[in-house]
């Protein structure tokens, strides 16, 4: 995928660690050089040092994949720290409840900092180094209070890691057509400015959001994500195979296999080439 004139992007598979089948699919795409970034969900029951070693081994001969921390603070996952609040039946609250509390500034800053610190420590223990970047499951890292805690922890513990902001580079009319994307644009504006004040780096632009409907045509959607992206941008994705553990933990199943099929197929490199894009 050479070509000095091409824009170079990070194609990042979220949720490494959520299940053995998802892990297998992500590693396979890295070996095929169809992905160049993935973020690890260290709170997932299927994440352990063996999985971390198998992923990290792909970088042994030469760098193939940037590995980040996928900070997770939503159900059905459970915290790593002992005193985290609030909980629902021993797990984090659902996304809507967690986001609502964050927007109302009803979370406990010390509890957030302790949990994020513990997840970062678990990553370092598993991989033997700090993450290349940090992002969040369900974009929870962008919300008030949570973002403040995360930025402080990263600045203190992993200052060389870059942080995923989710602001898009799209025409104004298109911003309002995607309500989820618009919310992420607004949250990311605040996140970027606070990261910059701490001397932390963020990606210049982001793409990859769409309605997670099983009928979605991912192959038709993906080329749109590449429009106008500058160098260093992040395109989020969720490729994977479906197993019982994934079905137990997450509603996003069938689409993961659609994404995997597209990235593993012959059309994907051609789509990148047509849009003047290469993997960083």
Can you give the residue ranges of every domain in the chain? 10-202
pLDDT for 2 equals: 42
DSSP 135: E
Nearest to 236 by CA among 26, 21, 68, 14: 14
Q: What is the pLDDT along the chain (280 residues), one digit of tens a residue?
A: 344 578 999 999 999 999 999 999 999 999 999 999 999 999 999 999 999 999 999 999 999 999 999 999 999 999 999 999 999 999 999 999 999 999 999 999 999 999 999 999 999 999 999 999 999 999 999 999 999 999 999 999 999 999 999 998 866 666 666 677 788 999 999 999 999 999 999 999 999 998 888 999 999 999 999 999 999 999 999 999 999 999 999 999 999 999 999 999 999 999 999 999 999 7
Query: Could you tell me where the beta strands, DSSP code E, fall in 76-179?
Result: 133-136, 162-163
pLDDT for 181 equals: 73
**Class of 10-202 in CATH:** alpha beta
Query: Could you tell me where the beta strands, DSSP code E, fall in the chain?
Result: 7-16, 37-40, 66-71, 133-136, 162-163, 206-207, 234-237, 277-279
In whole angstroms, give the CA distance from residue 181 to residue 166. 8
In whole angstroms, give the CA distance from residue 140 to residue 146. 7
pLDDT for 168 equals: 85
């Amino acid at each position: 995928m050479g070509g000095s004139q091409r824009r170079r992007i990070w194609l990042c598979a979220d949720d490494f660690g959520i299940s053995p089948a998802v892990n297998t699919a992500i590693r396979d795409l890295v070996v095929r050089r169809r992905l160049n970034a993935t973020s690890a969900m260290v709170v997932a029951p299927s994440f352990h040092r063996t999985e971390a070693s198998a992923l990290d081994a792909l970088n042994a001969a030469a760098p193939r994949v940037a590995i980040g921390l996928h900070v997770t603070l939503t159900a059905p996952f459970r915290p790593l720290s002992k005193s985290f609040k609030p909980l629902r039946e021993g797990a984090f609250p659902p996304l809507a409840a967690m986001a609502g509390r964050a927007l109302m500034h009803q979370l406990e800053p010390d509890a957030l900092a302790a949990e994020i610190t513990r997840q970062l420590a678990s990553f370092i223990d598993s991989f033997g180094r700090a993450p290349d970047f940090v992002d969040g499951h369900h974009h929870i890292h962008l919300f008030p209070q949570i973002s403040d805690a995360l930025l402080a922890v990263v600045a203190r513990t992993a200052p060389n890691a870059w942080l995923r902001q989710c602001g898009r580079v799209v025409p104004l009319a298109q911003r309002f057509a995607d309500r989820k994307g618009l919310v992420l644009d607004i949250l990311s504006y605040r996140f970027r400015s606070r990261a910059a004040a701490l001397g932390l780096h963020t990606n210049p632009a982001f793409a990859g959001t769409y309605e997670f409907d099983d009928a979605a045509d991912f192959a038709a959607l993906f080329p749109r994500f590449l429009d106008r992206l500058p160098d260093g941008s992040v395109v989020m994705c969720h490729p994977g195979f479906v197993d019982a553990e994934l079905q137990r933990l997450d509603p996003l199943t069938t689409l993961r296999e659609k994404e995997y099929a597209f990235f593993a197929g012959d059309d994907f490199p051609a789509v990148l080439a047509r849009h003047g894009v290469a993997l960083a």
